[in-house]
Structure formats: C-alpha cells, structure tokens
Structure 1
Amino acid sequence: MTETFDVIVLGAGPVGQNVAARCRAADLTVAVIDRELVGGECSYWGCIPSKSLLRPVLAVSDVRRIDGAREAIGGPIAAPRVFGRRDRYVTNWDDSGQAAFIIDGLGAALYRGHARLDGPRRVAITTADNDLVVLDARQAVAICTGSTATVPDIPGVAEAKPWTNRKATDSSAVPPRLVVVGAGGVGVEMATAWNGLGANVTLLARTPALLPRMEPFVGEHVSRGLTQAGVEVHTGVSVTELHRPGGTGPVTVELDNGENLEADEILFAIGRSPNTADIGLETIGLSPGSWLEVDDTCLVRGVDDNWLYAMGDANHRALLTHQGKYQARMAANAISARAHGQPLETAPWGTHVVTADKQAVPQVFFTDPEAGSVGLTAQQAEHRGHRIKIVDVDMGETVPGAASYADGYTGHARMIVDLDRDRVLGVTFVGPGVAELLHSATIALAAQVPINRLWHAVPCFPTISEVWLRLLEAHRDTPDSQ
C-alpha cells in the first residue's frame, strides 16, 4: 500500500522525535519509522543508561571528599542495585511508552521496519512480517538514523566479541578485568563507571592525552582522577591483534609496543560510523554509508528540490544528542516555513538556521572529575585567526564555593576572550560538580554577551559558579598581551 504524508522521518530517537513534534505543531502530517526501539541509541544504549550507571559512582566519590560524610559509607557499590536502577531508566528496554508518545502524544503515524529511500520523496518500508509499505512525502524526508560504534578491522576481532557502547551500557555482570580502548568521551566515562562498579580497568589511548579535543589540562585532570581511582591508564598505544580461541574465556590484547594484556572483556570506544549504508541513498545519487553534508537548515547538499534533510549524527556536525535535538528543532522550523510558503530567517542565530554547531557546542563528560566545555579551545580560536586572551583560574585555590563543595577541591577553569570583540569564545571547566556550570557559559556564547555586561551577572556566594567572578577578575588583572 502507499500513503502520503507531509513529512517522513527515518529514525525515532530523540532527534527524529523532535522533528516530528515541531512539524506536528505546525499542522503538518508526519510519519516516523524505526527498525529498532523507539527512543533510539540515546535512550537505551547511550546517554540514559550510561549516566544512570555513572551517577552512583560519582555520588560515592563526592561523599568521600567530605570529612564527616565519608565515614558514613563503607564497602563497595552494590552493582546489582545500580543495574536495577539503570533498567528502570531504560524502562527495561520496553519502548511502548515512547511509541505511545509519537502516536497519541504527537498524533504522528509510527511504522516499524527497515526504511529505504526509493527515489525522490519516496520511502519503502520492509516490516518485520516482510510486508512492503510505501510512503510519499509532500514536503520533506528527514534522515535521523544516528550512528553505530566503530570496531577496528584487526586480526582476531570477530572471535574476541568485543564490547561497544551497547554492551557497556546494557551488561548486568561486572567483568573482573576490562580493557577500554579509546580516549574520547565514551572511553573515559565507561572506564569511570566500570571501575566504580568493581572491575579492574585498563584504559588504552592511541593519543598522547585523554579527551584530546578539549583543552590539554582537562585530559591531565581526568587521567589523574582515573589513576587515583585505580584505573591503569596507557597513552600513545594501539591494539594490533586480539586472541580469544573459540570466542570464550580471557582475551589476549596485543599492543603496538610489544606488550600483551589479559582481560575478561574488551570495549572499543574509538569512534562512530553513520547509519546510512542501507537507507537507499544510491537511489537519489548519493553514496551509501556516507556522512551527509548539509547546509545550515540541514538540507542535504547535492539533492534537488529542497526535500531531503539530515539531522543528528547522520550529518556529522556534532555527534551529541543535545546538538542533534537542536538541529531537529531548527530544521523542522525550516521545513514548516517552506511548507507554508513563508520566508526563511537565514542570518546567523535566525529561527530557521543551525548556528550553535559552529560557535557554541556544549559537551560534558561525567568522569571523576567532571569535564565540560563550550565553544572554542585556545588552539581552535588561534587557528581561526582570532586575537585572543587565555584566562585561567585554579578553582580549588580561588573559589570558596568549590572548597565548600569538597575538601581539597581540585579543578581548573579557562575562558577564551576575543580581544577585538570583547566577547567570550570558549569556556572549559574540569572538577567535581562542574557539569551544571556549563549552561551559563553556553548562554554567554550564544547570546554573545559583552565582557563588561558579564560583570553584572552576580554569582551567589558560596557556590562553584563564583568561578565566573574569578575568571572576570583574572581577565581584568592580567595584561592582554600575555
């Protein structure tokens, strides 16, 4: 059978749901298609389960930093209870609630099955019963299919049955020995979580430092925190081969420096690949398996007639759930405007364009200590030609609220200032509890608040947010030509 909708959305994760919600609010008919669980990677194998595993670990660490409170806890974390908490947050991998939200809450049609483009504005769905359903789109098709963890093509990898983020977040058994490969967010967070749950964790990083895309001091703090917690951290090494005869028993991990490690499980957190290999891109002249290049309204380049959009991981602009949802909101605004014949606001920060992906991308990693940043690093700002000033603050030494938060608080903050425009270009925090500081920095960047106006944003005493006052004082008291 063939049905027609204004908008067809491939992927029912957070990004696809945001597209559907905005388009329905604009009185457009919407069909949403997913071949797995409604809610996507984030809900069941990403952000939600990982943070539910990490929160108990970080909570215990925070308590242990406070004299008088640390005496109230003893013994290891109850891993089975943590797994039970995780299972509640992922609704035991039952997506009926999110499916009901799409159907009843949004008034959209939900199709379950494998969707492929079948030429311009057409999508063919193969259902679980092998039925074929064909949908036509009057206005737009939105690709919100996300990405999949990359596994390296090295000898022995298939037999070793390595973990990716999926097994790392849905497992309910603590491996005695776990090797984590990867210096990015998934690697450091999962090393934090599984070490806290009782595994002996070894973290392997190909790069010289952890979290290499952030300011250098962040990786130093996170590496030190992991080491103090008992994680064995190795940088500048790569895995060359794996051995697990018969696919059971311990895994032997061969490294390029000639060393061998023994583990009960190995987790690869080395990157992501787009879920675009089998969605019919070849039927419209695009390359299967590619990241989709888009303009600032998320229209896919190289496709005529302004009907194909890509949001979230599929367009590779920012592989973060919150950024994908932001893209979905802006793109849905553009879809609705085009559908109703309205002009687009295409200037930066306009209603119909994605601007923050270039200037104000926030990211937080729930390690111990936490790490967060928004905007540009010093290196990135200099590379783009900005005349900058780097402002650094030791949070433990200068922020009374930090000292109140934890005895012996250790943390660092950096603000990158554009000297020609007197605006903040980037902010980075590392330290316990800094995740909740980040939105204030994001607002400062997105609103392009002048430095002299930030002086009038008064932080409460004694809170960690007083770091803003310390940053402004440091900016005032040090020469611009540092």
Structure 2
Amino acid sequence: MSEQDTPDPSYDVIVIGGGPVGENAAERTASAGLRTVLVEAERYGGECSFWACMPSKALLRPPEAVDAARHVPGGGTAAAGDLDVPAVLRSRDEFTAHWDDAGQVEWAVGVGIEILRGHGRLAGERAVEVTTGDGVRQLTARHAVVVATGSVPAEPPIEGLADTKHWGSREATSAHEVPPSLVVLGGGVVGSEMAQAFTGLGSRVTLVADSGLLGRAEPFAGEMLADSLRAQGVTLHTGARARGVDRDDQGVHLQLDDGSTVSGDELLVATGRRPATSDLGLETVGLEPGQTLTVDDSGVVEGLDGNWLHAVGDVNGRAPLTHQGKHQARIVGSVVVARARGELPDTIAAWTAYSLAADHVAVPQVVFTTPQVASVGRTAAEAGEAGLRTRVVDLDIDVAGAYLHRESYSGKARFVVDEDRRVLVGVTFVGPDVAELLHSATVAVAGEVPLERLWHAVPSYPTISEVWLRFLEEYGL
C-alpha cells in the first residue's frame, strides 16, 4: 500500500525501524504472505543509506582511487592534478539520493510492505503505538513485533562538550564543505575512516585516540594504519584522554589530560554508539529502556514469554554491522514465517537453518582506510580467551599479484588456526584493496573448512589471493 493510514490496525507482523535491517525483515515476512507494516520515524533506508555506509564510502573512494593511480607505473603523471572536491561531494549526494527516501518507499510498497511514517513504541504485549503527524495510531501484531531501531552516537562525559557545537558521524558524512582543519575524537572505525576521508579531501586532520586505533582488531592492524595516516599528514595523539572542550572565534579547542590542546575549525566526536532503545516503550513489557535487547539465536528477545518480540541489528548488540544485521533480519523473518505456519516448535535447539550462529564465529568487517583492514572471526587474543589451542601464522603479503597491483605493495596477514580441529577461526588482512580477499576467509571460517581441504582451493596466478598458498605452505602443507 502507499504511504498512508489504513483502517485496519491489526497486522501479522509489525517492524519498528525502516533501515536496511528492518527492510530485510519486513520483506521476508511480506513475501511469505504475512501482512507486514514497516514503521519509520525518519527516512526509509536508515542510517546506512543516508549517513553511514554509503556516504562515507562515497567520500573515501575518490581519494583512494587517485592514490592507487599514483602507485602504478605511469599513473603518477596521469593523476598529478588535485582532486575535484565539489565533484566528490556531488557524487556523495547522488549516492544518498539527496537524502530523499522516495525510492526506498517505492521499493517497500512494490514488494508488498505497508509503511507507516511515525515514531513507533511498544505499548504492551504485541501492541505498538505510532505517533504520526496526524496523531497516535494503535497497532497490534498477530504473530510478531520486530525491533530494528539501530543505534545512536554515544558521547563521552567531557566537560563543555554538550554545550559546544560539534559534529557527529551524520554531520561528517553529510558535510557540504570541507573544513580547513578537523579534530577527530575517537580511533575506532568511524574516527579512522573520517580522518582518512577528510585528509584525502584536503583538510588538516588531528586524530585523538587515547588507546590507539582500531582497538578491537589485531594490534598490528592499528599500528599499520597509524603509520599510514601519519605519512598522509594526519597528526595523531594516542596517549592522552580528552578532558574539556570549548569553541571561540578561532575554532574549537580540545584539552587533553597531558596538558596539551588541539584545535581545529570543526570537531568530530566518534566515540562509539549505543542501542536506540531509550524511547521504545520497553517499560510496557517489563524491560529496561536504554538497554541492549538481548536475544537468543532465533532473534527472540529474552525475558519475555510467547516468542513474539524480536530484535535485529545494532539494537541487540551482537554484531553491529549492516551486513550482519541484514543477515539476522533474514533469519528472523524466516523464523517468524515458520512459527506463523506452525512449522517450528517453541525451542530452537536444532534449528540450524534458523540460527544466528554466524554472530558467534564468523563476523566479517572491512575498515575502508588506506591501508584497508579486513577481518573475520576471532583475533588471536580472543581465540586464546575462548580456550582454543591455536597456532598463529603471520605473513607479509609478498606475492607477484600484489606487486603487479601496486608499486612497493605493503601488507600483512594473520591466520589463526584451531589446532585441535585444524580449521581457521580468524583471519586479518591489512593492505591496499584487501577487502576483496575477505569473503574467501569468511567462507573458510564459517564453513570450518579443514586445512587439508583448503589446500586444494588453488589461488589464481598472479593475484593477491596467492597469500592463501603462502599461508598453507608456511603452516606445513
């Protein structure tokens, strides 16, 4: 149906949150014939489409491509000019459809999803109230309510921050001017990527990260990225914590606990995110507002009876990545459909086809910096903490395909092997364009492919994928 009120408030499935995760859950149930409504307070397509994945990569890719051209024989001359920054920003605007969600709405209606624009909140068991521009609508769900409200920025309690105008990730990815100088607070994925992007677009960037970069990755990944950012002109402060901030006519000033001050025209605070559950009506079903919605491996929220409330994506805290949330949504959609048809029991012990098991063992992630950082599964430290008996194989990415790809190619790889099962449980690549290596690693980890079998997956010559051969040789096969 079109974007309008409907007289019947009873649905089979109500999905709260119209980002890519909610869209996937709603599509799965609607395509199976369940009457499904998708409730969204802002833009259909959500954070990823308008303020995160798509616009950030649109900002990162042009400087990366120019840098790549300058590092192949003959490319330096061709790429000797300056980056056309206005063209980059126009392209970013096109990728976000100029922040117009009409196309997303058309898609949803086209696949049979009913849509309702407004703020959705739980209002008791299987009940949702939606505050729209015309008032409040009361909805009920015969089978399931799926929460896909995502996350919001989590800002630290720094003196003066709340009263000082600054950027969050949304302001950074939607900026229509590149500030002459930018201070980035936070060394995670968002902070690192935006430091990379604005450096490439011509801003003087200072990055403050008290515990270094990419703290959840293998340590060498953060170290290599830090070295690269410094070489590109980023000033890094990695031993001091921010304690105060203020703004005057000269810009914004961040005071650090080592007594120094860093200043810039703009400040980007990228210090993590928290689940968007503060105004979700959780108290009406006996849950605590503002908390992560803990789910079992079928996506059912724990602590409630009836298997009617599900949570997918960032809001459940399991694997806060768009692709992983979409996978959860497809699984949960299938669970809801199967339950509605009476095809599944009330326990999930043997539901291998309906399980969020990938969240535990094989979550892939790419940080789109230069170098890229691509990883899946456990780090060496995490594998040890899990009690696995492991062997770690570290290699330089030193193969013919790498040097054909880029002059003076520099990259590293780490493979974490469970010695008892002789399967990979974690892989990390750091280097130019290693993102495209990651799915092979994800298949190996998720599929628990025995190394003796992996030996027969022969990489093509000359490609960067030959690093797989070097790993297996180093391991002893």
TM-score by length of 1: 0.96
Q: Counterpart of 2:3?
A: none
Equivalent position to 1:48, from 54, 57, 73: 54
Equivalent position to 1:32, from 38, 61, 67: 38
Equivalent position to 1:380, from 379, 382, 404: 382
Q: Counterpart of 1:237?
A: 240
- Give yes or no for contact 1:174–1:194 (8 Å, CA) kept in 2: yes
Q: Counterpart of 1:294?
A: 295
Q: Does 1:156 align with 2:160?
A: yes
Paired residue type of 1:401:
G
- Give yes or no for contact 1:2–1:134 (8 Å, CA) kept in 2: no
- Give yes or no for contact 2:328–2:356 (8 Å, CA) kept in 1: yes
Q: Does 1:124 align with 2:124?
A: no
Paired residue type of 1:139:
H
Give the drift of 1:152: 2.0
Give the drift of 1:243: 1.0
- Give yes or no for contact 1:251–1:262 (8 Å, CA) kept in 2: yes
Give runs of aligned pairs for residues 245-284 of structure 1, distance below 5 A.
245=248, 249-284=250-285
- Give yes or no for contact 1:157–1:241 (8 Å, CA) kept in 2: yes
- Give yes or no for contact 1:149–1:273 (8 Å, CA) kept in 2: yes
Which string of whole-angstrom CA distances, capped at 9 and with x for unpartnered residues, describes residues 436-466 of structure 1? 1000000111111110111111111111111
Which string of whole-angstrom CA distances, capped at 9 and with x for unpartnered residues, describes residues 214-255 of structure 1? 11110111111111111111112211111114xx65011100
Q: Counterpart of 2:201?
A: 197
Give the drift of 1:347: 5.3
- Give yes or no for contact 2:31–2:112 (8 Å, CA) kept in 1: no
Distance 2:172 2:270 in 1: 10
User: Which stretch has the larger CA shift, 336-345 or 294-303?
Assistant: 336-345
Q: Counterpart of 1:414?
A: 414
Paired residue type of 1:228:
A
Paired residue type of 2:476:
R
Paired residue type of 1:16:
G
Q: Counterpart of 1:393?
A: 395
Gaps of 5+ in 2: 1-6
Which string of whole-angstrom CA distances, capped at 9 and with x for unpartnered residues, describes residues 361-381 of structure 1? 000000000001000111000
Give the drift of 1:47: 0.2
SS at match of 2:217: coil
Q: Does 1:59 align with 2:62?
A: no
Distance 1:234 1:319 in 2: 27
Give the drift of 1:75: 3.0
Give the drift of 1:153: 2.3
Q: Counterpart of 2:4?
A: none
SS at match of 2:48: helix
- Give yes or no for contact 1:392–1:474 (8 Å, CA) kept in 2: no
Identity of paired residues, percent? Answer: 49
Which string of whole-angstrom CA distances, capped at 9 and with x for unpartnered residues, describes residues 62-84 of structure 1? 11211211111123211110000
- Give yes or no for contact 1:65–1:406 (8 Å, CA) kept in 2: yes
- Give yes or no for contact 1:240–1:254 (8 Å, CA) kept in 2: yes
Which string of whole-angstrom CA distances, capped at 9 and with x for unpartnered residues, describes residues 249-268 of structure 1? 50111001100112110111
Equivalent position to 1:133, from 117, 134, 137: 137
- Give yes or no for contact 1:349–1:355 (8 Å, CA) kept in 2: no
Which string of whole-angstrom CA distances, capped at 9 and with x for unpartnered residues, describes residues 180-234 of structure 1? 1111100110000000000000111021x31111111101111111111111111
Distance 1:60 1:94 in 2: 29
Gaps of 5+ in 1: 478-482
Distance 1:349 1:67 in 2: 53
Aligned-residue CA RMSD in angstroms? 1.3
User: Which stretch has the larger CA shift, 35-44 or 338-347?
Assistant: 338-347
Distance 1:225 1:348 in 2: 47
Q: Counterpart of 2:82?
A: 76
Q: Counterpart of 2:333?
A: 332
- Give yes or no for contact 2:240–2:256 (8 Å, CA) kept in 1: yes
- Give yes or no for contact 2:206–2:262 (8 Å, CA) kept in 1: no
Paired residue type of 2:242:
V
Q: Counterpart of 1:467?
A: 467
Q: Counterpart of 2:221?
A: 218
Q: Counterpart of 1:480?
A: none
TM-score by length of 2: 0.96
Q: Does 1:143 align with 2:151?
A: no
Q: Does 1:319 align with 2:320?
A: yes
Give the drift of 1:158: 2.8
Paired residue type of 1:167:
E
Give the drift of 1:429: 0.1
Paired residue type of 1:409:
Y
Distance 1:416 1:347 in 2: 29
Give the drift of 1:349: 7.9
Paired residue type of 1:427:
V
